[in-house]
Amino acid sequence: MDVKDFDYDLPQELIAQDPLEDRSSSRLMVLDKNTGAVEHHVFREITQYLRPGDCLVLNNTKVIPARLFGVKEGTEAKIEILLLKRKENDIWETLVKPGKKAKPGTKIIFGEGLLVGEVIDVVEDGDRLIRFHYDGIFEEILDQLGQMPLPPYITHQLKDKKRYQTVYAKHEGSAAAPTAGLHFTPELLDEIRAMGVEIAEVTLHVGLGTFRPVKVENVLDHHMHSEYYRIEQSEADKINRAKREGHRVISVGTTSTRTLESAADEQGYLTAKSGWTDIFIYPGYQFKVIDGLITNFHLPQSTLVMLVSALAGREHILNAYKIAVEEKYRFFSFGDAMFIADLNEGKK
């Protein structure tokens, strides 16, 4: 399976640089995963495709202001770091730019000494393990000094940190937002609940894999980075009940999808569980849990395009993306959304 099989042409001007004022006013492409048929809506009209008994699964991770700018101790050399994973207490795995200035033993000063990072090791892919020294509470210092880790294709400054956060974000730990959830407002979620749709929450802390392209020609040679996930028994029960009663499980985002498919048994049922997943979903994968997916439009040749292709077929996805380009949909993190499902099951 060649990575070029998942390529498409995207004009630069279709990459959304800013979030819309009203989260739920983004556009929504609805794709029938069986036929490839496409319909065009506004996101808040997702309610037309949900029905009582469905279970909508959200990823309630919270993005931390994980991008820090500092200087190398004793010099004026600027160093940027991105916090990826907390390994233990004050030791984090980080992405450092420029890496050549961050050899083991290097100290990096942030906020004129409010926070000091010491490089203690170089690990996989050149990431650095950094031990932080500070007085006070790390999260408060991070909130003061850190910036939201927007993807590299977003060049505009984010005016409001909350806009790179879902309205239901709870558990801090992500280096990127689960962007499919950015379209929901509290009012829309209330409307969905009032319809008799069950809402379950899982947690997956989104890591570096979100930023890294597939660099191998053969998709099967790609190595996914591991990410931490957690499912509580109360939420597993909601998902299991929907499955048992013949209702649909609809995942909000590829991160929720990866969590569910990692944690489920062979029959697609869940119990309380936490751990690390490096699941890689590409065409040929048989989904155990999810029936439908709400997602954004993803980067060419990315693992996320491969995941949605596993659900709806590569030809249907690439054709839908071609239509999205022609119709001038907005792409990527702050862009428009897609709902992928069997529409014969879902439309009222």
Report the candidate in 183, 84, 175 with the shortest Cα–Cα distance to residue 128: 84
- For residues 95 and 113, the answer to whether their CB atoms sit within 8 Å is no
Q: Which residue has the tokens 């640089």?
A: 17
Q: Which residues contact 112 (CB under 8 A, 6 or more apart)?
A: none
Q: How far is it, in rounded angstroms, from Cα 185 to Cα 163?
A: 11
Looking at residue 211, its pLDDT comes to 57
Looking at residue 210, its pLDDT comes to 63
- Region of 90 (left: φ > 0; alpha: ψ -120 to 50; beta: rest) is alpha
- For residues 56 and 200, the answer to whether their CB atoms sit within 8 Å is yes
Q: Which residue has the tokens 């490839």?
A: 36
At 127, which amino acid appears? Answer: D
Residue-wise pLDDT tens for the chain (348 aa)? 899 999 999 999 999 999 999 999 999 999 999 999 999 999 999 999 999 999 999 999 999 999 999 999 999 899 999 998 888 889 999 999 998 889 999 999 999 999 999 999 999 888 999 999 999 999 999 999 999 989 888 999 888 889 999 999 999 999 999 999 999 999 999 999 999 999 999 999 998 776 567 889 998 888 888 899 999 999 999 999 999 999 999 999 999 999 999 999 999 999 999 999 999 999 999 999 999 999 999 999 999 999 999 999 999 999 999 999 999 999 999 999 999 999 887 554
Q: How far is it, in rounded angstroms, from Cα 236 to Cα 256?
A: 13
Looking at residue 321, its pLDDT comes to 98
Q: How far is it, in rounded angstroms, from Cα 27 to Cα 65?
A: 28
Burial string for 172-206 (b: 16+ CB within 10 Å, else e) reads ebbbbbbbbbbbbeeebbebbeeeebbbbbbbbbb
128 - beta bridge partners? 94, 122
Looking at residue 339, its pLDDT comes to 98
Quick one: DSSP state of residue 226? Answer: P
Q: How far is it, in rounded angstroms, from Cα 40 to Cα 296?
A: 14
Phi, psi of 93 (to 5 degrees): -85, 130
- For residues 147 and 160, the answer to whether their CB atoms sit within 8 Å is no
What pTM was computed for the model?
0.92
